[in-house]
Structure 1
Amino acid sequence: MSHSVRHFSGDLYADAGVWSPSSSAANFCEEDYVVTIYIAEFINTLSNLAYIYYAFQYIYPRTRSPRIDLMSASLFLVGVCSFLFHATLHQETQFSDDLSMLFLAATLLQRLYCANKPAATARLITTAIFATVTAMSAYYVRSGDLVVHTSMFAGMLTLVWPRTVYLIHHRQGQDKAVLYGKLGRACGCLVFGFLLWNVDLEMCLRLRYVRSVVGLPWAWALELHGWWHLLTALGAAVYMDLIRDLCP
């Protein structure tokens, strides 16, 4: 999962990889092709397996229905697309990563805003959400402007949490504290991951120096974008579980 307009250049092995040269608009603090010529960013790539792991926990509903859970499917898609992007650092795979994030946000909105709605209204809401995402995705790919993607993703997430709080507040029963606890855990993971992601961007040179001093494998613990993947995978999984409780 990307969310970056920074491009770190000058890596010693950047032009020695199977997928060289990099063509993506985004790049990250992990040095390219240091571990293997087959993977551009080793930790940033492998850490995406967390999305796939959590996706398979709930990809089929608890009712054992053959219907696939769209939220889990979208989380799986994020894991695969982000894996390919960080492994290759190509613009095409960056687009796939970015668009998978928009699809994930769309599935959250669809589940939340269709809850307790008549079937006809739910179909209208679903059509509106996915039509808007499709149109904006096409515009983003055509323009290549990361600001378009970032603004749209942030806007969609801004619509997620108020609806979640509304549904918890109007929940009948005595489990509101449990639900708010889940919301807090999910948001805590996401916010902490976002913090580490920003530290990785803003303090890259210092992090690279410390990594060079401690050496492998301990240096991998300081690949903070990888921690962003792990924490957002966990946070998304908890949040999706909360949505399933609210919108069965």
Structure 2
Amino acid sequence: MAVYADLIRYRELFASLFQRDLRAKYKGSVLGLFWTLALPVTLMLVYLVVFSVMWKSPTTDVDNYWLFLLCGLPPWVFFATSLQSSARSLLENASLIRKVRFPRQLVPLSIVATQLVGFVVMTAIVFVLAMIVIPDSRSTAWLVFPFAAVIVAFVSGLSLAVAAANAIYRDIEFVVAALLLPLFFLTPILYSLAELPGAADHPWLLDLLQWGNPLTPVVECFRAPLFLGEVPSTANLAYLLIETLVALALGAAVFNAVDDRIAAEV
């Protein structure tokens, strides 16, 4: 796909956009780039206190629930922040897009790269914790890195599609923002699908949460080698790979469809 091949062809420009976005994110702050570490850690601590310490329910009755929770957070946070940040990226770079002709897909993809910094930090934290707390995961934990790379590709494709569509139809960013909250609770981050109290009574609903939510395989494939000490199921892994290819194709298709209109619309 030429849309993504331009990342290599224009890698110096992409690196410049990434550095600019990263500096702009922390411009004027005293701690500067230290926030790339502080923010993910703080977010993880907040979730730990609220859902592992204060919120008690049958779904949290899992050994090392705090680590179970942490293992589900990195891919979700990366997904949510990337989609929200990239949605307006083309609009916010309108002056640059109008003045210079360059591969415009580099703009939203550089935003994803900026969010990738936090994803790397959070993944490194849960990897170390899993190696210490879950002995059974020491032989499988390393698998999280290739799975994380696939997740980055999945999120990049969706982010490109959202950014390109939002440049033409401004409602897209509001639709994304509205969907993220319910999607968070429909994704098995706070709970295990197998441990849901009503799972036995509503198997069709369980299947819907498992296979109707594209984020479920993402979280399950990320969590399995870290928390369960096992390779993800063939079904989850196949689902993740297929939806990643679909996301990349969708991103390229939407971008190519509106590329000629972006400069005029933003």
Relative to the length of structure 1, the TM-score reads 0.28
Indicate the structure with greater helix content: 2
Structure with the bigger RCO (C-alpha within 8 Å, sep 6+) is 2
